Every structure is written in C-alpha cells, then in structure tokens.
A = this chain, B = another copy of it.
Amino acid sequence: MKAVIIGTSGHIDLALGVRDRAHGVSFVGIAPGSPDEDARSFFVDQLEAALIPWYDDWRAMLDRERPDLAVIAPFFHLQSAVARECLQRGIHAFVEKPMATSLEDLARLRATHAAGRAKLCPMLPYRYHPEFQAAWLAVKEGLVGEPLVAAAQKSYKLGTRHRMYTRRATYGGTIPWVAIHAIDWLWWFTKGGLAEVVAAHTTAGNRGHGELESSGACFYRLANGGAASVSFDYFRPQAAPGHGDDRLRVAGERGVVEVMNGEAVLATHDAAPRRLEREEPRAIFLEFVRHVETGSPMRIEPEEAFAVCEVALKSREAADRRVPVKLR
C-alpha cells in the first residue's frame, strides 16, 4: 500500500510514529498542504523523515505517486478540501480533526465521502486509548447504569504556537481543535445522545496568540434528560508532567466511572473503587490500514466522525453567538 503525507500541521506522528509496524505500507511522498506551511524545514529538522521523497505540490504528488492512502494534516481550514480531493481520486483518507472548519465544508465532505468508495478515518484516537476503552466498556456493560451526568476535561500546554493557530480563519477555533476530543468521548459514551449545547470561550490569557481561544466550557443537554459538561483550556503549566490532562467522569444510578492520569477507575455500590484492566494500546493508524485492507471494524465510523465534527462546529457557534444551539 502506497501512502503519502499532505501537510504537517497536525498529528502525522499518529502514522509516522508506527511506521515500523505498518507492514506493507510504504510512504512514497510528502508535501505541504499549502505553500505557506513551512513544512519542509519542520520535516527535515524535526522528524528526520527526509527519506520520504519531497514534493512542493501535493496535487502533483498525487498525480505522480497514485497512492492508496493519504495522511492529511494541512492548516486546519484546508483539511476538508484536501480530504475531498483525495476521496474523489479514490485515495483513502486518514485526516486530522476537525475534518472541516465550517458546516458547509463538512456537508461537502460528507457528500463526497458518500458518493465514493474510498475510506475515511479522523485523527480522533481516544477510542483506542486503553483507559478510555476500559471506561467505555464499563458503561456499555451497564455497570454505572444509564449515564445521567458526565464531566470532561481537556487541558493542554500552550507553549508558542505557529501563526496558523492565531487566526480563526486558519485554525478553526479551540472547540473544534481541543474540545472535540471531549465531544467525541461524550458522543461515544452516550450513543450520540447530545441534544443541545451552550458554550463559552475567550481569547483572554492566550499569551499573544491572536484569535486563539485560551479556554472555555461547553454544556450539553442529553437526550435522556441528563447533562454533560466540558472544560477546555491551554492553561496547563509548562512545568506540569506530560502535555495534556485528559479527564472524563460518567455517572449513573449504579455507579461512577472515571478516567484520569491514564487510568480508568470504576466505583459501584457493591465494591470499593477499583482500577479497570486495560487492553494493550492500539494505534488508530494501524487499525485504519487493517480496515482498508480487510474491512475490519473501526471504533469510530465515518458517520460518527462527521457527527462529532458537526457537534464541535455547532458548539463553537453556540459560544460565538452566546445562545443555545439544538443538536438534534
């Protein structure tokens, strides 16, 4: 299977980091998503990936290499257009989230995907994180009862970010970029049960990052009458261990399951709180390659990925307009 990389602005390490285990996949080309991406120096300097042939123009690369699969991570506002062109050419797309930064782009991408046979997978890898999978299994098995209240947290270090992040037009916003993972958790755990969103975000405290929202919160009414909260921020101090502080707590009549510090803990009425067993970590890119080759199931299917992206964009709208937005 021939693979290419288009753009280096997102988590291409999800693919390159497991390159040695991607048997049968050869990376035949790499190109920036746009001329202003500075991708070449990033690659040569930081990823030592110069052994992959370099192209200045990704369309020329596709014309010449005719790859089977593309890893797509340009500036975020370009993701949907690049993914669409790949899908139209029959190239399977492993595409950074948010797959689109506007509802219009998302609708176009959905239609293009539906019209063809190429497969698509978003870089929403948490369903393959063992602690989240363990928590989800506990909920799926009914161990906490119907999920009635949930609280999620995404907290990242800000550092100094590329100018792409400093403009809504190229970045898309912190809800679609950061909070989308928490939205994915909630969508997954509640079986798509998010009914309405209210949200807020602010650029205050963003340390010179222009339009980038430093922090905010989303509130979701659940279809079952419950409620879910998401807190997101770039305030994780530089001196703290690790880049992110991901948390999820889901509770119901029978108990509480919680993910924190890379562990999942279940508390129920009949036993003391206990750590849940975790599966071996799986790489979403390898799962996608296998899916393309054999049709094996993915934990996140395209329709769910589109829905999660839609909720993220509508949550951003709720924050921008300061009004509740219906989700179903």
Binding site for B on A (CB under 8 A): 144-146, 148-151, 153, 155, 198-202, 204-205, 207, 214-217, 219, 221, 224-233, 235-241, 249, 251-253, 255-256, 267-273, 322-324
Q: Is A233 a contact of B251 with CB atoms below 8 Å? A: yes
Is B149 within 8 A of A237, CB to CB? no
User: Which of B204, B226, B251, B323 sits near A146, CB closer than 8 Å?
Assistant: B204
Q: Hey, which chain B residues are within 8 Å of A151, CB to CB?
A: 151, 153, 217, 229, 231
User: Given the complex, which residues of B lie within 8 Å of A155, measured CB to CB?
Assistant: 251, 256
* Bound: A268/B151 CA distance, A: 24
Which label, helix, strand, loop or mixed, suits the secondary structure of the A interface?
strand
A205 touches B235 (CB 8 A): no
- A216, B255: Cβ atoms under 8 Å? no
Offer 9 A-B interface pairs, CB within 8 angstroms, sorted by A.
A151-B231, A153-B249, A202-B227, A204-B224, A204-B225, A204-B226, A229-B231, A239-B267, A324-B324
Assess whether B271 is in contact with A239, with CB atoms less than 8 Å apart. Answer: yes
Q: How far is the CB of A126 from chain B (nearest CB, A)?
A: 19
Interface centre among A200, A201, A231, A268 (most CB of B within 10 A): A200
Bound-complex Cα distance A224 to B273 (A): 38
Given contacts A221-B200, A226-B202, contact A235 B215 (CB under 8 A): no
User: Which residue of B has the minimal Cβ distance to A151?
Assistant: B231
B268 touches A256 (CB 8 A): no
> Judging by beta carbons under 8 Å apart, are A235 and B217 in contact?
no
Can you name 18 extra interface pairs (CB under 8 A) apart from A151-B217, A231-B249?
A148-B205, A149-B216, A149-B232, A151-B151, A151-B231, A153-B249, A200-B225, A200-B226, A202-B225, A207-B253, A219-B229, A221-B322, A229-B231, A239-B268, A239-B269, A239-B271, A239-B273, A240-B273
Chain B nearest CB: distance from A289 CB in Å?
38
Q: Are A269 and B229 in contact (CB under 8 A)?
A: no
Residues of B within 8 A of A272 (CB): 239-241
Contacts of A253 in B (CB 8 A): 204-205, 207, 214, 235
Contact at B215–A226, with CB atoms within 8 Å? yes
Chain B residues with CB under 8 Å of A224's CB are 202, 204
Within the complex, what minimum Cβ distance (angstroms) separates A73 from chain B?
A: 27
Bound CA span A253–B198, Å: 23
Q: Which 9 A-B pairs have the closest CB atoms?
A: A205-B253, A219-B219, A217-B227, A229-B229, A200-B227, A202-B225, A149-B215, A235-B251, A151-B231
B221 touches A219 (CB 8 A): no
